[in-house]
Amino acid sequence: MTAIQLKRWNISLGDGQPLVVIAGLNVLEDLDLALEVGRRLKAITAELGLPYVFKASFDKANRSSIKSYRGPGLKDGLAMLAEVKKQLDVPICTDLHEVDQAEPVAAVADLVQVPAFLVRQTDLVVAAARATAAAGGWLHVKKAQFQAPWDCKNIISKAREAAPDLDIILCERGSSFGYNNLVVDMLAIGEMQRLGVPVTIDATHAVQLPGADPRTNGGSTGGRREGVPIIAKAAVAAGADGVFLEFHPDPDKALCDGPSALPLDAAEGLLKTLKAVHAAVRN
């Protein structure tokens, strides 16, 4: 596995490169909050010398309940992400859910993300791959909760068939383990890297308890936020090339997936530790 480069931002990911931090909000709530979180995370990563990508979703289409908050939607959400990109001068990562979203998303996002539930949707993967390659970005693909790590070769094959020169990243985010639970097999990171691509860890979604939030009697996803640092550190120790994390100034008041989000005040300490673990492993 060799390193890939996002030339417009001078960011590299993979062998011999710094730990890349993809972090922000689970979902966009308003512009001021996005700027607050992005500005803080940019300052921390700059101090630590870690490449930073701001992450937030404009739409959470796979909610447990139809009443759950989904976000501002495609038009308003992309406008908000474009403003974050402009004001903070940072690359953007966001996910898409439909084929028609591929080109407008790739026009704003430097990392176009295919959600775990949708990685077997051939038309979506192909559209995302073509749009991302045309825009010069990276395709960030989350391994499905029901998928073996070595089976991700089929995702890579589909994307490369559509866009041969595309830079692809796979993301480990846990596997379904019985009902309402996920586990992370750290050996999966190396297995996916052997497919010839960099691998990140989504430590936030890996601690979800799908459809098991006691606050809503199963009407939303629960989580074990105390497990995020454990999974992040273990994954970096196992060789992950980047980390995917979600923060909120007050996670218990977040409009989506608060139980899995870390408080923004925890970012500096965790990222310092992850940098040290990454350095120890790579040395």
Domains of the chain with CATH codes: 14-282 (3.20.20.70)
Task: Provide the pLDDT for residue 221.
Answer: 58
pTM across the whole model: 0.94
Task: Provide the pLDDT for residue 89.
Answer: 98
Backbone angles phi, psi at 105, to 5 degrees: -70, -45
Active site residue 257: yes
In terms of Cβ atoms closer than 10 Å to its own Cβ (0-12, 13-18, 19+), residue 89 is exposed
Residues of the chain with pLDDT under 50: 212
Task: Provide the pLDDT for residue 63.
Answer: 61
Distance CA 98, CA 70 (A): 15
Task: Provide the pLDDT for residue 214.
Answer: 58
Q: Radius of gyration over alpha carbons of the chain, in Å? A: 17
Let me know: does 155 contact 169? Beta carbons within 8 Å.
no
Task: Provide the pLDDT for residue 1.
Answer: 57
Active site residue 26: yes
Considering the candidates 59, 95, 241, 257, report the single residue annotated as catalytic.
Answer: 257
Distance CA 24, CA 36 (A): 10
To 10 degrees, what angle do helices 267-282 and 31-48 make? 40
Cα distance between the two ends of the chain: 17
Q: How many C-beta atoms surround the C-beta of residue 66 within 10 A? A: 7
Task: Provide the pLDDT for residue 2.
Answer: 78
Considering the candidates 42, 55, 60, 142, report the single residue annotated as catalytic.
Answer: 60
- β-bridge mates for residue 5, sequence order: 12
Q: How many C-beta atoms surround the C-beta of residue 146 within 10 A? A: 12
What are 254's two structure tokens?
A: 């977040």
Considering the candidates 26, 59, 142, 233, report the single residue annotated as catalytic.
Answer: 26
pLDDT in tens, 65-93: 677 778 899 999 999 999 999 999 999 99
